[in-house]
Amino acid sequence: MCPTYERGEELDMAFDICVVGAGMVGSAAAKWLAMDGTKKVCLIGPQEPTEEEDRKGERQIFGCHYDEGRITREIDPDYVWGLLAKRSIQRYRDIENESGIHFYNEVGCVFINKTDSQEFDDYLDTARKLEAYIETYDASEFHTKYPYLKINPDCRCIWAPQNTGHISPRKLVAAQQKIARSHGCDIINEVVVDMEESEDGGKNLVRISTESGREVLTRRALLCTGCFSNFHHLLPDEKKLDLLLRRAVVVKAEVTKEDAVKIADMPTFWLGHERAYILPPILYPDGKYYIKIGLSHFSSDILQGLDKAVQWFYSKGKEHPGVKDTIDSLQRFMPDLKPVSLITDSCITTSTPTKQLYCDMLTARTGVVVGMNGWGAKSSDEIGRMGASMIGKGSWDHDLPADNFKVLFKDNKKDTI
Ligand SMILES: Cc1cc2nc3c(=O)[nH]c(=O)nc-3n(C[C@H](O)[C@H](O)[C@H](O)COP(=O)(O)OP(=O)(O)OC[C@H]3O[C@@H](n4cnc5c(N)ncnc54)[C@H](O)[C@@H]3O)c2cc1C
């Protein structure tokens, strides 16, 4: 088994492939590369900040995986996103078995929207294409099934009981890294501050510099750096990616253990007419159960610059004007819920103009897999596999068409080489 390197330790050998960003996609990509067994692989990225690091407030880089609940479902208004999810979900139990880390709860997922909504029809269409098992209900039928939930009478429901539910992003990342390490991947818990392609002793290499001053040499590098991809000097100015960062705020309603047990049959929900997602009670590391709710994109919520992104993570979303709307939405949906407390948390989603993720080579030696448009957690295993195949070969190597995932650049949206 390979060691995890701590800050300051020397590492002067060259790798075949370095994955930068030890989050959901990067950890999956590193696992796939390590499992291939033909290349010397490393994964570089900081772990989740400890409570003490949080208090100090010096962290400049965050990930979107510091949580216990992400909705997982194969059906989606978009077929490609649905397929990426389906393939990932099919492998969850294998990842659990190989790592010994449990992260998936198959509690089902329900999509609710107005009877005449296009989104509802798009969900049905993808379900048919992916051969996903579903049942449809009108509002009153569904209310009979879950009497503690209030559904608008002019809404319809799609109930997907299989291959859906929620995952712990924190535990999935831990599982992927554990498997990667067991297949020989080195993991370096550091922030990368600079990347440069260079000629080194006649060899074409990428030189990766970390915050502590360590230099790592690699033949190819794959950036899986989420919402922080355009910061530091990971990419040259002319190759900054066309990404929109949006503040995301969630409310976590603490419920007693007794209440959590009473509604233990609660699935995950997408309330299309409210643009809200809701997860059932989940046990968090503080020993409490929380129901989590978030509203998707407040349109004015675009963030610019590293400082604003860092401030937003540290703010925990407490002052965000959308918090009240979020709580109101939960109360409309679960009118009898009596939360013990309400807390907020903050995160950032990374959108692309194409609404698809970017998975592309920027040069012959550097590739990127970023821009998950707020829904990458559930599909991260297949997305990581896609990135791993591409960087392993140095060019596109997946059954889905490369054009779907092509990068656009910030300045002029020109295609890659
Ligand atoms: C509030 C909220 C709710 C969500 N709900 C869902 C959901 O229900 N279902 C779902 O499927 N998805 C959901 N998502 C989206 C999902 O969490 C993200 O799409 C997913 O985490 C993205 O994975 P990633 O690997 O691209 O980025 P991340 O998971 O953020 O990982 C990026 C990693 O890169 C590292 N990094 C960045 N810069 C550097 C650097 N310079 N050097 C080294 N490392 C670096 C970071 O530390 C981080 O670990 C949600 C997102 C938010 C914000």
Count CA atoms within 13 Å of residue 148 on its CB side: 14
Say what the pLDDT of residue 9 is: 44
Q: Which atom of ligand 1 is nearest to the CA of 277?
A: 8
Q: Which atom of ligand 1 is nearest to the CA of 346?
A: 1
What are the tens digits of pLDDT across the range 350-382? Answer: 999 999 999 999 999 999 999 999 999 999 999
- Which contacts qualify for 393-399: CB closer than 8 Å, 24 or more apart? 394/220, 394/361, 394/364, 394/365, 395/361, 396/361, 398/359
Say what the pLDDT of residue 203 is: 75
Q: Which domains does the chain have, with CATH numbers?
A: 4-65+170-242+354-405 (3.50.50.60), 244-351 (3.30.9.10)
86 C-alpha to ligand 1 centroid (Å): 19
Q: Is the pLDDT of residue 68 over 50?
A: yes
Question: Which of 143, 111, 148 lies closest to 335, judged by CA?
Answer: 148
Q: Is the pLDDT of residue 417 over 50?
A: no
350 C-alpha to ligand 1 centroid (Å): 9
- Bridge-based pairing of strands 289-295 and 215-223 is unpaired
CA distance 91 to 175: 12
| DSSP calls for 321-359 | THHHHHHHHHHHHSTT---SEEEEEEEEEEE-TTSS-EE
What are the tens digits of pLDDT across the range 248-307? Answer: 999 999 999 999 999 999 999 999 999 999 999 999 999 999 999 999 866 678 999 999
Give the contacts of 121 (CB within 8 A, at least 6 positions apart).
none
CA distance 407 to 357: 8
Say what the pLDDT of residue 201 is: 66
Say what the pLDDT of residue 299 is: 62
What are the tens digits of pLDDT across the range 77-91? Answer: 999 999 999 999 999
269 lines ligand 1 (CB under 6 A): no
Say what the pLDDT of residue 296 is: 85
Q: What is the mean pLDDT of the chain?
A: 93
21 C-alpha to ligand 1 centroid (Å): 9
What are the tens digits of pLDDT across the range 297-326? Answer: 666 789 999 999 999 999 999 999 899 999
Say what the pLDDT of residue 6 is: 44
Residue 51, judged by CB atoms within 10 A of its CB (0-12, 13-18, 19+), counts as exposed
Give the contacts of 275 (CB within 8 A, at least 6 positions apart).
295, 296, 297
Q: Is the pLDDT of residue 136 over 60?
A: yes
| Residue 183 near residue 37, CB atoms below 8 Å | yes
- Bridge-based pairing of strands 165-167 and 135-138 is unpaired
